[in-house]
């Protein structure tokens, strides 16, 4: 079992290296297809959303307060509030609800 950890590390290193190097070596020309360009444009945003949204719901330990903070942040952002106002507003709502739920 101890020797197999080196095999796991080697496989992960090769896979990571291939994922980063293959696009650089295989795609040398500019991508002109608008569908592929738009897909590649949104990949970072989707990746960030996929990593952060589940963490938002489970960060507080109570799904109700996590969802309420998320909804508050979405509403404030939709209405044009800045990043600081959105973050503070969501935190305040979660803090108030956590305090409120601790009494019950």
Q: What is the pLDDT of residues 17-65, one digit of tens each?
A: 998 888 888 888 888 889 988 998 999 999 999 999 899 888 888 899 9
Q: Are 85 and 93 in contact (CB under 8 A)?
A: no
Give percent of the chain with pLDDT exceeding 90: 52
Distance CA 104, CA 99 (A): 9
Round to whole Å and give the CA distance between 70 and 65: 9
- For 10, phi then psi, to 5°, come to -65, -45
Cβ-contact 74, 52 below 8 angstroms: no
């Amino acid at each position: 079992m101890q020797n197999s950890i080196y095999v796991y590390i080697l496989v992960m290193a090769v896979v990571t290296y291939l994922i980063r190097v293959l696009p650089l070596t295989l795609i040398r020309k500019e991508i002109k297809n608008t569908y592929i360009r738009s897909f590649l444009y949104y990949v970072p945003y989707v990746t960030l959303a996929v990593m952060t949204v589940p963490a938002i719901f489970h960060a507080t330990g109570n799904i109700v307060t996590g969802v309420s903070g998320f909804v508050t942040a979405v509403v404030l952002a939709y209405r044009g509030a800045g990043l600081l106002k959105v973050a503070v507003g969501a935190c305040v709502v979660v803090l108030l609800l956590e305090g409120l739920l601790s009494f019950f």
